[in-house]
Amino acid sequence: MKPGLLIVLVALSLGACRSREPRLPVEHVTLKGATVVDNGLLAWSASDIQELFTGTLRDSRRFELLEEDGKGKRVKGAWSFSLELPFTRESLKDGGTYTFAEVGASLSLERRGPESVQRYQVVGIGEVRVEGKAPEARRNALREALRRALAQVSEAASLQMVAADRDDAALLNDLQSQDERVREFALRVLADRRNPAAAPLLIRQLQEEDAQTVRQAIGALVEMKARAAVPALIELVKDREIGFVQEVVFAIGEIGGAEAEAYLFTVAQGHDQPDVQAAAQQALDTLYAAHKLATPEARGTDRAEH
């Protein structure tokens, strides 16, 4: 067989396999936020942006858009998307000659099950150099940056949705992936399921420079009630601004445990910032209240003890 023909056959085979892959069901696609509703820089309406986004999802061939398919009934396992554009801007990079159009996209994913709701968020940033000073050049660059941002969140959403459907054993294996995104989305799902294997990796993320990554790690550790994270959280507040310290103090209170309680008591009694003292006392009061509710007396005598 000729090499050229072989290549064609392999490509067709791969394409056929991909077309048979089950597509990820999306029930609703909505937009929100002022940047979507009124954006003079893009000069596009919300309906224009929605059409572009649904087109991006459709062209990726990873999603089944149920609203477009005209399916009235709810499909089991379907997700809802909510798109927001946190910013559209033009900026100068490191004192360079050219400006760059930048558009941020934030996509919230939600799936309601019989007993719980899964929620995740993925983000993308499109960046394009502005070729010229005319308004049309700026607008075209911003629109292309938007296209790139939407392509990024589309790809990330598919990876996150696939991870959400994998069992814990497969997700633990994904933590060894060479693809950073696969590792990240697997970790999110494991944390959501409160799998203990996620805690050490989340604690490691507390050392990241990106503030959003750190806050997401804190939130996941709080959801898991990961008491092993308390020492790292205590270390995290050193030489930080007051607002962030207060956030961490409340997080430590939510996690609870003897080490958390001792730390909060010390901070409430002797921190040099009154606002931090007040936050620690509030967290401590909440922790004490939770202890009281956990006692047999507070639960009542009509409940079975196990």
8-54 per-position pLDDT tens digit: 444 445 454 444 567 899 999 999 887 777 777 888 888 999 999 99
193 occurs within a structural domain: no
Same domain, 134 and 30: yes
Average pLDDT taken over every residue of the chain:
85
Q: What is the pLDDT of residues 162-178, one digit of tens each?
A: 999 999 999 999 998 99
Question: Which two structure tokens, joined as six digits, stand for 104?
Answer: 């941020």
Same domain, 44 and 135: yes
Same domain, 120 and 31: yes
Q: How many separate domains does the chain show?
A: 2
Question: Which two structure tokens, joined as six digits, stand for 85?
Answer: 């554009």
**Per-residue pLDDT, 295:** 56
195 occurs within a structural domain: no
- Which of 92, 113, 148 corresponds to the end of one domain? 148
> How far is Cα 33 from Cα 61, in angstroms, rounded to an integer?
27
- Which of 118, 148, 178 corresponds to the end of one domain? 148
**Per-residue pLDDT, 304:** 39
Same domain, 139 and 254: no
Do you know the residue count of the chain? 306
Does 296 have pLDDT greater than 80? no
Confidence grade of residue 287 (pLDDT, cut at 50, 70, 90): confident
> How far is Cα 103 from Cα 26, in angstroms, rounded to an integer?
24
3 state SS of 301: coil
How large is the average pLDDT for residues 273-279?
Answer: 90
Full residue range of the structural domain in which residue 257 is found: 226-294
89 occurs within a structural domain: yes
- Looking only at the bridges linking them, the beta strands covering 63-65 and 79-92 are unpaired
- Which of 116, 148, 180 corresponds to the end of one domain? 148
> How far is Cα 132 from Cα 107, in angstroms, rounded to an integer?
31
3 state SS of 267: helix
- Widest distance between CA atoms in the chain: 82
Q: Strand runs (DSSP E) across 40-160, as ranges?
A: 63-65, 79-92, 99-112, 117-129
What angle (nearest 5°) sits at the alpha carbon of residue 56, between those of residues 55 and 62?
105
113 touches 59 (CB < 8 A):
no
109 touches 66 (CB < 8 A):
no
Report the CATH number at residue 83: 3.40.50.10610
37 or 182, higher pLDDT: 182
Q: What is the pLDDT of residues 1-10, one digit of tens each?
A: 555 545 444 4
154 occurs within a structural domain: no
